[in-house]
Amino acid sequence: MPKITPFLWFDDQAEEAMNFYVSIFKHSKVLSVTRYGDGGPGPKGSVMTANFELDGQVFTALNGGPVYQLSPAISFVIHCETQAEVNHYWEKLSAGGKQNQCAWLEDKFGVTWQIVPNILIELLNDPDPVKAGRVMEAMLKMTKIDIDTLKRAYEQT
């Protein structure tokens, strides 16, 4: 078990969320599911925690009831190499959720993700502030990031 594991609090969708995420990410798997017993606080036999791995990152999801809600103050960044990879994660994770600006989306469970092509970081860190500024301007107009549009903005003369 890694030293640090993201822990997601759901009302009652932990198992559904786990299965959804495992279906999207390659090299992912369900690790374990723990169920409530006679002592509660959830109904006996219902899922208490769901442990899963997404591309090597372990997560735990809890069915803790409506006490706490997820917030965009915490998000998960998915670093992508290609536009096809950006498109895959964007389409799958935003289905039933909300698409937001600048690579951010909220999935149908309320978890916030950022789908970021690595080239965006590279271009924004270019030592030429004019080129980096054009990339920033282009990105600020996008919801899902389009790599070709970023490159055109960068190469503009």
| Three-class secondary structure of residue 143 per DSSP | coil
pLDDT at residue 140 greater than cutoff 90: yes
My answer on whether omega of the bond before 41 falls inside 30° of 0, hence cis, is: yes
Neighbours of 28 (CB within 10 A): 17
Note the pLDDT of residue 39: 87
How many angstroms separate the CA atoms of 5 and 67, rounded? 21
| The two three-digit tokens of residue 7, written as one number | 């822990």
Q: Of all residues in the chain, what percent carry a pLDDT higher than 90? A: 94
Per-residue model confidence as pLDDT tens digits over 72-84: 999 999 999 999 9
Q: Which residues pair with 79 in a beta bridge?
A: 116
Sheet containing 29-35: give its strands across.
Answer: 7-10, 57-63, 47-54, 29-35
* Mean pLDDT along residues 28-47: 93
Write the pLDDT tens digit of every residue in 61-74.
Answer: 999 999 999 999 99
- Which domain range does residue 98 map to? 70-157
Tell me the CATH number at 29.
3.30.720.100
The answer to whether residues 50 and 81 belong to one domain is no
Residues 94, 33 within the same domain: no
Q: Are residues 34 and 57 in the same domain?
A: yes
Query: Same domain, yes or no, for 79 and 120?
Result: yes
Residue 105: CATH number of its domain? 3.10.180.10
Residues 59 and 75 in one domain: no
* Whether 95 and 114 share a structural domain: yes
Do residues 60 and 102 share a domain? no
Indicate whether 155 and 82 sit together in one domain: yes
Task: Note whether 109 and 17 are within 8 A (CB).
Answer: yes
Share of the chain above pLDDT 70, in %: 99
| Total of domains in the chain | 2
Contact 63, 45 (CB under 8 A): no
Query: Does 141 lie in the same domain as 83?
Result: yes
Which residue, of 38, 67, 96, is where some domain finishes? 67
pLDDT for position 41: 87
